[in-house]
């Protein structure tokens, strides 16, 4: 069985998946900094027989970092840079459009770029 403190390690550089410190703001609430793992999930959309490829931003976060998560909450992510300082992805604001608690301590966040 994993504990909340175990998930802290998953979000640190030493585990191999460096977490990204973002600002989480619940709708009508106060902002706070949490750590997430941000992915760009491949998505194949079927439209009138012609598939269109794209991506869906998805994040993993500790459930205890956002106990009252709701649709419409926001995440503000800083720019992602290479070791040499080159910007790989510009700072981005996201809206949480869906989420799934795995009942083990982590929550998947389906995001929409704002």
pLDDT digits (tens, 9 = 90+) for 48-83: 777 788 889 999 999 999 989 999 999 999 998 888
pLDDT, residue 103, reads 87
Q: Are 41 and 53 in contact (CB under 8 A)?
A: no
Mean residue pLDDT of the chain comes to 85
State the pairing for strand pair 106-113/50-62: antiparallel
pLDDT of 7 over the 90 cut: no
Q: Which position has the higher pLDDT, 10 or 92?
A: 92
> Residue 4: pLDDT band by 50, 70, 90 thresholds?
low
> Residue 44: pLDDT band by 50, 70, 90 thresholds?
confident
The domain limits of the chain are: 4-113
How far apart CA 108 and CA 70 sit, in angstroms, is 13
**At the topology level of CATH, where does 4-113 sit?**
Pnp Oxidase; Chain A (2.30.110)
pLDDT, residue 12, reads 62
Q: What is the DSSP letter of 79?
A: P
C-alpha neighbours within 13 Å on the C-beta side of residue 29: 16
Asked which of 21-25, 30-34, 44-48, 92-96 is least confident by mean pLDDT, the reply is 44-48
Q: Compute the Cα dihedral for 114, 40, 79, 21 and give only its sign.
A: positive
13-38 b/e (C-beta count within 10 Å ≥ 16 → b) = eeeeeebbebebebeeeeeeebbbbb
How far apart CA 49 and CA 56 sit, in angstroms, is 21
């Amino acid at each position: 069985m994993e504990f909340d403190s175990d998930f802290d390690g998953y979000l640190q550089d030493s585990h191999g998946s460096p977490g990204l410190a973002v600002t989480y703001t619940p709708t009508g609430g106060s902002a706070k900094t949490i750590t997430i793992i941000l992915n760009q999930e491949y998505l194949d959309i079927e439209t009138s027989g012609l598939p269109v490829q794209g991506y869906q931003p998805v994040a993993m976060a500790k459930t205890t970092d956002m106990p009252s998560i709701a649709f419409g909450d926001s995440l503000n992510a800083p720019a992602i840079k290479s070791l040499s300082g080159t910007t790989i992805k510009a700072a981005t604001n996201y809206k949480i459009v869906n989420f799934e608690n795995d009942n083990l301590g982590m929550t998947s966040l389906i995001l929409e770029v704002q």
